[in-house]
């Protein structure tokens, strides 16, 4: 074989080899679709299990919240607070800090749960849960449904509407009470987004008021992204049809940090301004009441003081899911007719249903934005901490009633 023939033969072998090496193997269309479907299914499977694992870890974290004084270092024995944690525990806005404050001011010796229990003042066997937006009220509503079966009462709520009627004139309020709240002959709970109603002023008997609060900054951010979630928009459109105005895509894609830093009109929190109810910036409004002149000015000192007074005098419990175990214990202790077994039922519910209305894709708030909001929400933050402090006092009083020796702990 000549040299040229040999080279030609080798080139042909190489061409054949390359043809096999790089050839594209045709797959039937259905096979390609099946492979794509399997890939999507695997991705979804991993996402769901990651989400489930995250939920279980959150549940374990919540269960490890303090539910007994021994977990806080408030009893004798080997419990102690490390130097690293001492400042945190001494903070008045913590359970341990509240205990130390009450002890140092001499209030602890005389503290009893009866002093902090407004339930006996109620004139109706009705829980009135005038729920605050974005505080985890869906969880409380679900818990009330479960407890209704266990404790023999009726769990009721308002009809879903496109717009919530939070502020009512006296005629509307009176009609609302007659047609919705006071029309049950059985022990019951009633839930609605509505500002505090003064039953004395309306000449009606008082129910048992309860509510939830949440860190005001977290509430604002939560609502900002919750209202933009695709599933929320789809659900609103499916429920209300053309009456719900579909949002603009640029509004949906808006980032909260940029919204604050660029002074977007949606994210400006002017002191004492009277508008912008839609972004739920006024947590205190739900406790202040229906008087616009007093309760509507944003971050108002007078509104905050009125809200504090109503909580102190009229609410059986104002809890927070940020202190889940404390909240459940106080509800069971101060409103046992309705909340007996709340602790066990809550965790059984969490295992079964997982998180409620939780937006797993919410971006992180940066430090600059948080600092700006802290300056603009001073009274809202103070009111929130007041509610937590009262909740801690109720919890401590319960524990000391059950174990008087805790009053003597040093």
- Which residues, including other chains, have CB under 8 Å from residue 375's CB and lie 6 or more apart? none
Q: Is 73 left (phi over 0), alpha (psi -120 to 50) or beta?
A: left
Instruction: Specify whether 80 is catalytic.
Output: no
Pairing of strands 126-129, 188-191: parallel
Query: Residue 382, exposed/middle/buried by CB under 10 A (0-12, 13-18, 19+)?
Result: middle
- Pick the catalytic residue from 193, 263, 301, 389: 193
Round to whole Å and give the CA distance between 394 and 391.
5
* Nearest alpha-carbon partner for 143 in 324, 382, 402: 324
Q: Which residues on neighbouring strands pair with residue 317, listed in sequence order?
A: 210
Number of H helices, E strands in the chain: 18, 5
Round to whole Å and give the CA distance between 287 and 282.
10
- Which residues, including other chains, have CB under 8 Å from residue 389's CB and lie 6 or more apart? 92, 93, 98
Round to whole Å and give the CA distance between 136 and 142.
10
- Decide: 210 and 127 in contact? Cβ < 8 Å: yes
Q: Taking the mean position of all CA atoms in its chain, how far away is CA 150?
A: 24
Active site residues: 193
């Amino acid at each position: 074989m000549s040299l040229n023939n040999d080279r030609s033969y080798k080139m042909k072998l190489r061409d054949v080899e390359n043809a096999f090496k790089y050839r594209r193997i045709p797959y039937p269309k259905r096979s390609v679709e099946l492979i794509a479907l399997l890939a999507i299914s695997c991705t979804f499977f991993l996402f769901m299990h990651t989400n489930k694992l995250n939920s279980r870890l959150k549940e374990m974290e919540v269960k490890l919240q303090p539910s007994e004084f021994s977990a806080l270092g408030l009893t004798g024995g080997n419990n102690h607070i490390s130097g690293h944690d001492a400042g945190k525990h001494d903070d008045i806005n913590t359970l341990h800090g509240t205990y130390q404050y009450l002890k140092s001011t001499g209030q602890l010796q005389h503290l009893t749960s009866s002093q902090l229990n407004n339930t006996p003042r109620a004139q109706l066997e009705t829980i009135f849960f005038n729920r605050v937006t974005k505080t985890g009220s869906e969880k409380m509503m679900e818990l009330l449904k479960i407890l209704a079966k266990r404790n023999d009462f009726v769990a009721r709520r308002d009809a879903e509407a496109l717009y919530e009627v939070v502020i009512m004139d006296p005629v509307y309020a009176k009609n609302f009470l007659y047609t919705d709240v006071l029309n049950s002959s059985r022990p019951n709970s009633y839930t609605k987004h509505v500002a505090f109603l003064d039953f004395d002023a309306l000449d009606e008997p008082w129910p048992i008021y309860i509510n939830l609060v949440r860190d005001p900054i977290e509430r604002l951010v939560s609502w900002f992204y919750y209202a933009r979630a695709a599933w929320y928009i789809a659900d609103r459109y499916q429920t209300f049809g053309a009456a719900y105005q579909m949002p603009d895509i640029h509004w949906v894609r808006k980032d909260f940090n940029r919204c604050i830093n660029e002074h977007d009109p949606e994210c400006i929190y002017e002191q004492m301004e009277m508008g912008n109810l839609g972004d739920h910036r006024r947590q205190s409004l739900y406790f202040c009441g229906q008087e616009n002149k007093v309760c509507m000015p944003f971050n108002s000192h007078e509104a905050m003081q009125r809200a504090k007074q109503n909580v102190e005098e009229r609410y059986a419990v104002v809890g927070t899911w940020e202190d889940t175990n404390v909240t459940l214990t106080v509800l069971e202790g101060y409103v046992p007719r309705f909340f007996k077994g709340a602790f066990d039922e809550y965790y059984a519910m969490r295992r079964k249903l997982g998180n409620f209305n939780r937006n797993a894709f919410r971006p992180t708030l940066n430090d600059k934005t948080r600092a700006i909001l802290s300056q603009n929400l001073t009274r809202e933050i103070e009111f929130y901490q007041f509610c937590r402090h009262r909740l801690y006092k109720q919890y401590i009083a319960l524990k000391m009633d059950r174990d008087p020796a805790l009053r003597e702990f040093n």
